[in-house]
Chain A
Amino acid sequence: MRPWAEIAGGLGRGFFTLIGGLGRMGRFTQATLRSMLIEPWRGRTLRWGAAFEQMVLIGVASLPIVVTISFIVGLIIAMQSAYQLQRFGAVIFVADLVAVSVTRELAPLMTAILVAGRSGSAIAAEIGSMKVAEELDALNAMALHPIRFLVVPRTLAMMIVLPCLTVIADLLGIFGGLVLGVVSLDISWIAYFNQTADALLLKDFVSGLIKSFFFAVIIALVGAFEGFHVAGGAEGVGKATTTAVVRSIFLIILADMVFTALFYSTF
């Protein structure tokens, strides 16, 4: 009898924790969007200076890894496509497959995952240690709203930098495909380039950017949220950074599925 009651109790508690967590996340998102979208119209300036600093931090931190990984992913996709297309003697279509899969899917997704690991965790760690050192309380006591002061600049920065990094990843991914095509598939670079230009539609490129814009919101908000809810010292900060990465990657993939379905059925 006892174990069952405990299991049921555990499940019930888990359920309520989950609901409570979602509720808090919802309110947090609402507060951030409010500070970002509504308050500027009521005479409160956004802190663009701080946002710019964050853009530099996020961009500089993530650029090398994004460049390297997206080039390698371009190479990999080219090899995998060539493996299948060779059987039909249609290796030139490697260019189409690389261009479309990179711009529509892989560049936005890989970039978002890398930035979540690099900068989402940093946001959680930074805000979490501020929470532990009572710095968030100090902001509140000075009538400075921590969400407006800390979260909004980071979210704005992320919303600008992540799409930029995604464009870079698009180019490097396609370049990776081109290198493989030229080096091992005997396609001339002009032919590969023309094939890519024919295959790629503006909507492929744009749908990837739209995704990355929303991924940016997820990374910044989840990182900040976990930071704000740190409990218990340095150990809590460590936990929050890990949780931030895991949760934001999960939400990114979930959002990716929704957007892909949406784009698939509408354009």
Chain B
Amino acid sequence: MPVYDQRTITTFATRTMAQNPIIQIIDLHTRYGGKEILKGITLDLYANETFVILGRSGCGKSTLLRHLVGLETPTAGHILIKGVDMASAAEAERNRVLRKVGMLFQGAALFNSMTVAENVGLPLQEHTPLEPSTVKIMTRLKLDLVGLSGYDDFMPAQLSGGMKKRAALARALAMDPDILFCDEPSAGLDPIVAAGIDHLILKLHKAFKMTIVVVTHELASVFLIADRVALLHEGSVVFCGTLAELKRSEHPYVRQFLERRPDEQVPDSETYLKSLVG
């Protein structure tokens, strides 16, 4: 079994269970076409925790985040952020919540017709009465935070994949959100920059008391940043608990995931050929 660097885990239960959850996901079901992607997800997330969502590729992690910011309407179930139902609330109500939510998309989703600085400054320019000069300073601050100082006037097309991710993170942080959703923030980054992102997340968590929800595959960063972890498998939550509980868990899928074991069933060649003919 691999040995993970130990981090003292504050007893989560005493620290946050007393308060109401800031995000409630209640029996969330969703389907694309005939295929059910999420099959009844129920999770409570608390203010000022870093919550990591794990799961293999294609299991619906991005889909879950898209529901959290109200981009998709669930086929059944509810998502409440600060008590507001993201699927059915009036637009004004939802926007009030979203202004204090930052979202880093898996594909960065920068506005390709705008410079990096315009991308980061856009929410400030549209939602606040700040002067352009102030917006510029705040934009610089956010770009410094993600290590992109000096790239103000670059177009997204001129950035590398990892730089796009970081620029998008700066944009997600522009409005100083209470809640930050990150879809694979360090995928495709070199280990040094990825570690930088992890430390940035820790800093945001400690200094700004943000609630941070991260989707990631990097087990090393999970053990560094997470307060609690949920593991999705085939559209359901198979595990949800603190890091210590994750390490102790005997659930076979949790063990397989943590020990990075491949799926076992290797079909014999005859059935495989038959399945190809189909």
Contacts and interface: CB of A to CB of B under 8 A. Distances in A.
Given A143-B127, A145-B91, A133 B107 contact: yes
Interface size class of B (residues with CB under 8 A): 20 to 34
A122 B45 CA distance: 43
Interface string A141-154: 11111000100000
B107 A141 contact: no
B109 A137 contact: yes
B98 interface: yes
A46 to B, nearest CB: 13
A135 B71 CA distance: 12
A141 B111 contact: no
A137 B99 contact: no
Interface size class of A (residues with CB under 8 A): 10 to 19
A184 to B, nearest CB: 49
A61 to B, nearest CB: 16
Contacts of A144: 122-123, 126
A140 B71 contact: yes
A85 interface: no
A166 B123 CA distance: 37
A156 to B, nearest CB: 17
Given A142-B123, A143-B127, A144-B123, A137 B105 contact: yes
Interface in B90-136: 91, 94-96, 98-99, 101, 103, 105, 107, 109-113, 122-123, 126-127
A140 B71 CA distance: 7
B69 interface: yes
Given A137-B66, A138-B103, A143 B109 contact: no
Contacts of A186: none
A134 B109 contact: yes
B75 to A, nearest CB: 19
Contacts of B123: 142-144
B99 A134 contact: no
Nearest to A142: B123
Interface of B: 66, 69-71, 91, 94-96, 98-99, 101, 103, 105, 107, 109-113, 122-123, 126-127, 175
